[in-house]
Structure formats: C-alpha cells, structure tokens
Amino acid sequence: MTRTLIPVLLLAAACAPQSADFTNVSYVSFFADGTSLSLAQGEIDPTDDRWDASYNVDCREFDTNEETNALKLEDPLKICGANWPPAHEEWAASAGYRVVSDVAEPWRGEAVITAEGDLQIGFHARMTGGADMRVILVVDPTFQPQTCRSKPGGGVERVDLDGNWLDQWSNELATLQGLPDKYQDAYAHMAPYMDNGRLYFLNSFAYQINPADVEDRWPLPEQWQAGTVSAKASEEHMVLRTTRYAIPRVYNLFDNSTTVDDSNTSDTDLWHCSLSSGEDASSNDCMSDTGEEIHTTADEIHDELAPMFKPDGSMSDPIFSYRPIAHLNDWRPSDGFNAGLDGWGEMHYNYVVFDGDSDLTAGGQATGAFSVVLDGEDSGSRLFVKGEFQVDKIRTDRWTTDDLQAIKAEENGAELCFL
C-alpha cells in the first residue's frame, strides 16, 4: 500500500550512482501571479529568453478599468472568448498565470523499494534559471486489494477483491490506442509500452461522495490506493489532483469550500448508478451512459487545456498535450450497495504505465512512461509533467526496517487477515 511520502530518498542517495534514467520529460508550469512563492522570491523569471516557451494567461474580469490596468498581466493569450471560463478546468479563471515550459534534463534519477515495500521512482531537474524541480512517483508493486474469508476448517484467508484490478485498469490502454487522432499526442510517450503494458492509476487520497448525502465524503481505503505522486517546482510544493468520481465541478466545490450541499450539487452529478445485487453492470444502460459521459468529459478537458498550451495562437501546434483517462467499473460484481466501486465510474489525472516485461522488485528492471497533473499546496499554481523512464536495477532503500508485526505473527502461529 502506498503512503504519503516526503521525497527525501533522492537527497539521501545524492552520492550514490544514478539508478533511473528519465527521458523525453517535458513540463508546463502555471505560476499563479499573487500567490506563487517562486515568483515572489524571484526564483522563476518568466522573462528569461531561455525558456522553450513563456507567456501569460489571464482571463480575470475586474470591476473597474483601474483594477484591470493595475492587476491584469500584460499581453495575455487571447483565449478569453465565448467558451470561457472552462467548465472543468475552472482554476484557469481564478488567477493570472505566468506560464513557462521546457524540456527537462534530469540530473538525478533514483528507483528504490522503500521500507513500506513501495516502488519509488523520481528525478531532480534544473528549471531555466537554476531552480530545482523534483517529481516523485510511487506505486505498490504488488497492488491487489483483498478481503478476508472464513475457511471451512476454521480460521481466515485472504482472497482477491473483485478480481485483478491492474488487469482491468490496463485494458484502458487499448481504448487509448483507439481514440481519435486529435487525442493521440497526449499519450504518444506511452505508445511503446501500451501493447503489453501495466497501467497504474495514482489514486491516493481519492474520495467518493455519498449519493444519499452529498455533504458526506467517502475516502478510499488505503489498500485500494495503488500509487501517488508529489513534486516541488522551485519554491512550491505540489500535490496530485485526485481521482474524480463525479463531474469535476463537484470536486472543485469541495476543494474550495468547507461546506457543499444539495443547493449546489446533487447525486445526478455523480458518476454512479444504483445496481441491484448480482446485476450485470456491463449491460446496464445507466452504466453505459455514465461511461460515455466520463469519456466526453476527458475529451472536453483536453479541449479546454489545448488553447492554454498554444502560446503562438490558435492555429499553432500546442507545446504540450494532455488528456485524463476514463475508467468504468462495469467489470466489478455488484453487491447492491452504494459504497464501494461497483456501479461507479472514475477519471484519473495521474497515471503510470510499465512495460509488461518490467520486474518491480528489488534487483529488477523497469521501463515505462507517466503523465501527472499537480496543484499547488499553498498557491494557485499548476504543474503538468510527462515523460519516460528506464531503470536497469531497482535498489532497496538502506533505511528499511524489519516488519515486526509479521515476525511476531509467524513466531506465535497467528493467522492475520488485514482488510
């Protein structure tokens, strides 16, 4: 199971040989004017002509001409038209952004199995001007949620919950290959790993919303969380944008308000269908419609972002392409209850694909690609990053400790079954 990790292992291993090579890494960072510590401290200079691209996005509306003249960023992209603000990427209208983009050349890459048994792959790279950027990807190499079942002769045993999650997630790779050409650039870096790849959704800290009470959040149990990502762009700590189980507007409300009630959202906004126990979700009309809605939403997010990735105008090629991945849980057996993932659809902003020949154990090797979207922890900044990696030999973190709980259980002949 993945845990909240502070990216210190790369620093601790600074004197050891590099163990992970990152290639084709590109990023676009939207530094929020007014809340970005990187801008305030002068660590990021958007006017530096060494950036691959540097421009302003500012579609804020001000009450007076005086405010407009004083606060609006100079020469912003001319994208503030009839389709503004975005329906899903609402953050884009909440501030003015100094946008910078570059191809990263990581000076440090590491891949280790941590004390918790997770695989952590990360890199450091210098942004234009010398500021540091680091991105840390974490996955559970043995990810497979399980449940407890009583054995006929007494005792308990662990059995897989709902079948093989990674197999079902990885089926989305074929769906991505069949998307229209306009979306293929978003996944071009993943193409070498798709035919036999293993897809991980980085779904840590995700939560659902109770269909019976939209003020109630349901955090995903820890063992259902397959991975996470954290980053720091110059002076700003960035956190992953969590999985959505409803239209993004609902999560935007939760993220920006302490209270959300049925006056501004309802159960119809959720990607959820009420199924009876044992019902075949794959033949349910509501599930089919939900799947189409999620894929449409993913398309619309791509289309909303595309103008913000075109500093040279609407007819130019984008400097970055991004689209989330939709997934419908129509393969899960239904138990007739709202809680759980059966009957739900979901959309993932952060994902990693490993080549099918990768061995995600200590001493093993791994190749793959990733796309991540992170939001500022204490600012309105946003960070989009994607790239590929190759690890010839995965190391073991030297600061690991023995699992005392497992040792004592074995010494006492105890059968433990953790949910």
Q: What is the pLDDT of residues 137-167, one digit of tens each?
A: 999 999 999 998 888 888 888 899 999 999 9
- DSSP single-letter state for residue 72: S
206 pLDDT exceeds 70?
yes
pLDDT computed for residue 6 by the predictor: 43
Q: What is the pLDDT of residue 9?
A: 46
Structure tokens belonging to residue 112:
């280790």
Contacts of 5 (CB under 8 A, 6+ apart): 114, 118, 120, 136, 138, 228, 230
Q: What is the pLDDT of residue 140?
A: 97
Buried b (16+ CB within 10 A) or exposed e, 349-381: bbbbbbbeebebebebbbbbbbbbbbbbeebbb
Q: Any idea what DSSP says for residue 207?
A: E
Q: Using one digit for the tens of pLDDT, what is the confidence trace for 341-390?
A: 999 999 999 999 999 999 999 999 999 999 999 999 999 999 999 999 99
pLDDT above 70: residue 239: yes
Could you tell me which residues come within 8 angstroms of residue 322 by beta carbon, excluding any fewer than 6 positions away?
186, 301, 302, 305, 309, 371, 373, 384, 386
Q: What is the mean pLDDT of the chain?
A: 91
Give 98-128 pLDDT, tens digit per residue: 999 999 999 999 999 998 899 999 999 999 9
- As a whole number, mean pLDDT of residues 64-91 equals 87
The closest alpha carbon to 38, from 124, 128, 102, belongs to: 128
Global pTM reads: 0.92
C-alpha dist (Å) from residue 150 to 256, 394, 416: 44, 37, 12
Contacts of 406 (CB under 8 A, 6+ apart): none
Report residue 296 CA to chain centroid gap: 19
